[in-house]
Structure 1
Amino acid sequence: MKLLRALERFNIFMGVASGVAIFLITLIVVADVALRALFRQPIPGATELSTLLMVALVYLGLASVQTTKSNFRMEVLINYLPSGIARILNLLTTLIALVAISIIAWYTTLEALHSLSVKEMSYGAVSFPIYPARTIIAIGFVLLALQLLIDAVFLLVGHDTKDKS
């Protein structure tokens, strides 16, 4: 159980890291706009870097949202069911999500490894590596799959996933 708790803390940390990406995107955009306005010179690669940070913002936060139980759920229905049925339904939906996200994690990991092996780059005004974004997406889905596995384990042993004490 300590390992599961450590993974959850790591997922929360990754959520904070995704929040830092918002700050960095803001800095890059403000600096780029200021340099364009003052010196008519943009920051080369600012758009591409902001896009990479946007990917980090979204995908590194996936598991954190699941850890804090902030994902969309049909609680209107679940809250009116008897607790035993609600627990079974919660376990069933968690297992379905685990299977679906695990498949996505598997394929995104394969794509990230391929992209890394060929050092995939974008072509435009500035060549920018694509493999970091693909790697971030894979990491996000792997962490989400692990969090869903943690949730399933807690549900199987009878702990409420909202209060894992």
Structure 2
Amino acid sequence: MTILETAVRQIARVLAVLSAGAIVVMVVAIACDVIVRNTTGASVRGMLELAETSLVISVFFGLAWAGVKGEHVCVTLLVDRFHEAATRLVQIVVWALSTVFISWLLYATVLRAIDSTTMREERFGLVRWPIYPMRWVIVAGLVALLLVALLNLARSVAGRLPMGPESELQAVLVQQERVAAQTEESLEALDKQVPGASAAETIPAGGTR
């Protein structure tokens, strides 16, 4: 697993956590608004806008993690009947087209975000709610998704499967091996400082050496 792949996974994981948090905020905001409306007959100022903002964050910050986990919509009814070489070619074409499309979408979104920021776009309701920060949230989500698409394209060209459950399991195994190696190095360093210390740590409580 390359450094780039590790970095993309970490970025997607952080965005996924923020996405999950946004879902919680959205649910709480809607619940509060419904309770207050049924109780007093009036809405809570800003709750609707907060829920809409949380919806944008939850959707676009979750795209990259779905790509990393391989949880996007994928129909393999036809590809499963191809030979390995044909399947690899299809994957290369699909991820190349996906990269081009996401790049075009990102370009258009950046232009729209710049215009929105320049005019300080707002939503007028019960409160004045700025819209332009959410334009940049969409940009950030698309950038992360583009990194995933580029990484999957590189994996397909190299003859590897796109990121998904198998690659996620491999990443976990690599992380466990790394932790085990670091633990072994720490024990060796401790043993050099205090001879027999690492062996003493392995003796059960109440046991004898």
CA contact (8 A) 2:60 2:142 kept: yes
Which residue matches 1:116? 117
Which residue matches 1:157? 158
* SS of residue paired to 1:72: coil
* SS of residue paired to 1:128: strand
Specify the code of the residue in structure 1 equivalent to 2:27: T
TM-aligned CA deviation for residue 11 of structure 1: 0.8
Which residue matches 1:83? 84
Which residue matches 1:126? 127
Matches within 5 A, 1:32-51: 32-51=33-52
CA contact (8 A) 2:45 2:127 kept: yes
Specify the code of the residue in structure 2 equivalent to 1:159: R
* SS of residue paired to 1:115: helix
* SS of residue paired to 2:71: coil
Which residue matches 2:97? 96
2:26 aligned with 1:18, yes or no?
Answer: no
Specify the code of the residue in structure 2 equivalent to 1:33: V
TM-aligned CA deviation for residue 41 of structure 1: 4.1
TM-aligned CA deviation for residue 67 of structure 1: 1.1
Deviations 1:98-127 (A, max 9, x none): 100110011101211221232111123211
* SS of residue paired to 1:75: coil
* SS of residue paired to 2:51: helix
Deviations 1:11-50 (A, max 9, x none): 1321232122111111111122222233444221111110
Deviations 1:31-89 (A, max 9, x none): 22222233444221111110111111111111111111111122111111111110110
Specify the code of the residue in structure 2 equivalent to 1:9: Q
Structure 1 stretch 88-97 or stretch 12-21: which is displaced more? 12-21
TM-aligned CA deviation for residue 134 of structure 1: 1.1
CA contact (8 A) 2:12 2:64 kept: yes
TM-score (norm 2): 0.73
- Rounded to whole Å, the distance in 1 between the matches of 2:79 and 2:16 is 27
Gaps of 5+ in 2: 171-209
CA contact (8 A) 2:11 2:144 kept: no
Gaps of 5+ in 1: none
- Rounded to whole Å, the distance in 2 between the matches of 1:117 and 1:90 is 40
Specify the code of the residue in structure 1 equivalent to 2:144: L
Which residue matches 2:70? 69
Specify the code of the residue in structure 2 equivalent to 1:60: F
Equivalent pairs, count: 165
